[in-house]
Amino acid sequence: LSLADEWESGPRSYLGLMVAGFPNMYLITGPQSPSVKSQMILASEHHVDIIAGIVQTMRAEGHRSVEAVAEAQEEWVGHANEVADATLYTKASTWYNGANVPGKPRVFMPYVGGVKAYREACEDVEHDGWRGFRFQH
């Protein structure tokens, strides 16, 4: 399965960091992260720090792979969509939701719940032993 096939109906990720079913494939400011709705350099640095923490955990615990858990991804995408639906972003014809590409699925991609809330969610995931990620030896 290719990522293009997986995302045929629109991109879905866990925290904008990984996609369920694609082990060891990391995203930097991917869909369902604040990405373009925040300062991109700081957002990129934040994701690199998180990924470095995941890799450090993998090394320390002897894991060979990590991937997003499908249920955690769906829960996060649902939350991101719920937050976006409370705004006018999802009603506008804009590149944020794919309106600039004929035939592209209309999906609002950035997380608009705020950078503070997003960072807190990421911290909670880490403090919970990387909840929502599956590590394998």
> How do residues 98-112 score in pLDDT, each as one tens digit?
899 998 888 999 999
Q: Which residues pair with 14 in a beta bridge?
A: 18
CA dihedral angle for residue 18, residue 20, residue 24, residue 25, rounded to 10 degrees: -50
Q: Report d(CA 122, CA 130) in Å as an integer.
A: 9
The identity of residue 45, as a single letter, is E
**pLDDT recorded at residue 95:** 86
Calculate the CA 123 to chain-centre distance.
14
Q: Report d(CA 14, CA 31) in Å as an integer.
A: 8
| pTM above threshold 0.85 | yes
Band of residue 96 on the pLDDT scale cut at 50, 70, 90: confident
